[in-house]
Amino acid sequence: MTMTEDYRIETTARGVELNRDNVENYTVMFWSGKCAADKEDWRQPRGLDHYIQNVLTPMITSGEIDDGSRTPYDDRKFRFDKAEFSRPSLPILNISLGATHFKAVKEDIERSNDENKKLQQRGYQKFGDCYAFFARSVGVAVLPITSDGTVFVGERKNTEYGGFLNAVAGYVTFRKDVSNLNIKGEALRELNEEFGISKEEVTSLDFAGIYSHPMKGDLDFTFIAKVNKPEEYFSSGAWMATVKEREHKPLVHLASMSQIEELLETGKLPNSDRKLKVMYSTRGALMSIRAEEIRS
């Protein structure tokens, strides 16, 4: 398992890394899975239907969270439970998902690493799963490669991971029927919302793996998209006129593999003395890029 303080490659239940080499040719299918264990009473049921009925619905009714009916934001989120490949003859990756909500997600993000380590130890002791008490929210991330063979990422503006370099990213849309989740459709939606790139302008969309924050537990299904947009579309700021809300500060241009490698190794931005942390899924995507995909 490849892991640092803020970057982890997710694995299957049998320990196979879910990186690009192992997943790019697989179809992803989703099934109902376990929700987070109750910290006060860990014996409570963890099934998806039970959680929706006994946790999410009362919170929505009381106004503690919203399902998107009162505000533009749906606080309900999917929770990653486990992953496993189907039998060898079928190129299918089965993902089990439960449910969680944004307040639980934020609690994990804001908790210190030391506190999260203690909670992981408790999860392992009670369930043999260090993330049993974590929200493990599911997002999607997309790294676009321009028609000129270069990459752009941006410094995130949100409160949870503001100051991190990030590709296009966002939470997966919650739905009660897990099997209806279209993860590639979610990636295309985020690409359009954040960079104004339509699905017709995406020439290929490759599954590059599942990457997470090992201390906080949240993760992204990560994709690399080749897009029919020149680098000028990003460098000139033209992309900003196509989006309703800007979620990135001015973008960082990565024009070669050497610049990508230096950023991953040192955090140093090209042609600058600034250093920034790289979001786990963006790091996974950048590490997954192949030399032939970037201009020399």
pLDDT single digits (tens) 122-163: 999 999 999 999 999 999 999 999 999 999 998 877 666 667
270 is a domain residue: yes
Does residue 20 lie within any of the structural domains?
A: yes
Of 155, 264, 147, 161, residue with least CA distance to 213: 161
Q: What is the pLDDT of residue 296?
A: 67
Residues 143 and 271 both lie in one domain: yes
Segments of the chain assigned E as strands: 8-9, 27-32, 76-85, 92-101, 138-145, 151-156, 165-166, 168-171, 202-212, 219-227, 248-254
Distance CA 7, CA 229 (A): 30
Structural domain that includes position 93? 8-127
Residue 135, C-beta contacts closer than 8 angstroms, at least 6 positions apart: 36, 77, 79, 100, 101, 104, 105, 107, 108, 217, 218
Last residue of a domain, one of 82, 99, 127: 127
Q: CA end-to-end span of the chain, whole Å?
A: 31
Distance between CA atoms of 155 and 172, rounded to whole angstroms? 21
pLDDT at 246: 67
Distance between CA 72 and CA 43 in Å, rounded?
35
Mean pLDDT of all residues belonging to the chain: 93
78 Cβ neighbours under 8 A, 6+ residues apart? 97, 98, 99, 100, 137, 138, 172, 174, 178, 181
1 falls within a domain? no
DSSP designation for 172 = P
pLDDT tens readout for residues 40-64:
999 999 999 999 999 999 999 999 9
Task: Pick the last residue of a domain from 101, 127, 153.
Answer: 127
Last residue in a domain, options 127, 147, 164: 127
| Domain total in the chain | 2
Check residue 156 and give its pLDDT. Answer: 76
C-alpha–C-alpha distance, residues 185 and 193, integer Å? 12
pLDDT at 236 over 80: yes
The reply to whether 29 and 68 lie within a common domain is yes
What pLDDT does 164 receive? 87
Residue 191 lies in a domain: yes
**0.85 exceeded by the pTM?**
yes
Same domain, yes or no: 161 and 277: yes
Do 93 and 149 lie in a common domain? no
Which of 180, 202, 201, 97 has its CA nearest to residue 139?
97
Same domain, 168 and 227: yes
Per-residue CA distances from 225 to 132, 170, 216, 283 (Å)? 33, 16, 27, 15
Q: What angle do CA 58, 64, 66 make, to 5 degrees?
A: 85
